[in-house]
Amino acid sequence: MPDADFNILRESLDLLILKALTWGPKHGYAISEWIEGSTEELLLVEEGTLYPALHRLAERGWVTSEWGQSDSGRRARYYQLTRDGRAHLRNQGSVWHRYVEAIAKALRAASAEYGR
């Protein structure tokens, strides 16, 4: 996979994780469930993808984590959005909205001449 494709996927996953945390701390499984549910199961995030992303976000200062207890009584690491993470989500979210709209517009184009 070319680097540009990989970066797009990584950045979109980062934004989805940050969005999942806007309602409060969640453990990894709850984050992946939120992503799957909010995308009507079009996007499935596996552990091997999710946890490296969470570590990357923590290194950037966009999330913090602490150990807690899940609803089932098991020990789980809970991730929480930081102020910087919230700012990144707000800034990059609007960029992604414009990006997605531009791609959708191009895909809806009726002819090869600039959508005419």
Rg (CA), the chain: 17
User: For the whole model, what pTM was predicted?
Assistant: 0.83
Average pLDDT over the chain, rounded to whole? Answer: 89
Question: Could you tell me the fold of the domain covering 3-108?
Answer: Arc Repressor Mutant, subunit A (1.10.10)
Answer yes or no: are the C-beta atoms of 53 and 107 closer than 8 Å: no
pLDDT surpasses 80 at 111: no
pLDDT surpasses 60 at 34: yes
Q: Which residues contact 88 (CB under 8 A, 6 or more apart)?
A: 18, 60, 62
Q: How confident is the model over 54-95, as pLDDT tens digits?
A: 999 999 999 999 999 888 888 999 999 999 999 999 999 888
Amino acid found at 81:
L
Domain ranges of the chain: 3-108
